[in-house]
Amino acid sequence: MQVKDLTIDELKTLIRETVMEAFEELLPPDEGKTVKENLKQELLATRKRREAGVTNVSSQEAMDKQLRPFGLCAGEFRTPDDFDAPLPEEISNAFEGK
């Protein structure tokens, strides 16, 4: 399986599991550091899934993904001349929570 074949949910799961595995390696439990309860639960769930042999896509499979060639959409759309123009004030305010 290749990354291009994943659904959005499968890709999110792959990323989440990879991050959780990295946390598990980087935060040994016996160093007296505290972590939030939800992170502990995610780490435990990831460990249980891995111990049970449940995997979605291996890291190696994800890395084997063939890159898409440049220019697949050449000529299919045009970037507007005002692409870099400032956003309208109401949209800008919405992004800033105003």
Contact 1, 61 (CB under 8 A): yes
Interior CA angle at 97 toward 81 and 94, to 5°?
Answer: 35
Are 20 and 42 in contact by the 8 Å Cβ rule? The answer is yes
Pairwise pLDDT comparison (28 vs 15), residue with the higher score: 15
* 63: pLDDT strictly greater than 80: no
Categorize the per-residue pLDDT at 97 as very low, low, confident or very high, splitting at 50, 70 and 90. Answer: confident
Mean local confidence (pLDDT), 50-78? 75
CA 5 to chain centre: 15
What are the structural domain ranges in the chain?
A: 3-95
Note the pLDDT of residue 25.
74
Closest of 30, 28, 13, 75 to residue 1, by C-alpha: 13
Residues 70-98: what's their mean pLDDT?
Answer: 86
Confidence check: pLDDT of 65 > 80: no
Pick from 32-36, 41-45, 90-94: least confident: 32-36
Contact 16, 58 (CB under 8 A): no
Which pLDDT tens digit goes with each residue over 50-59?
888 877 666 6
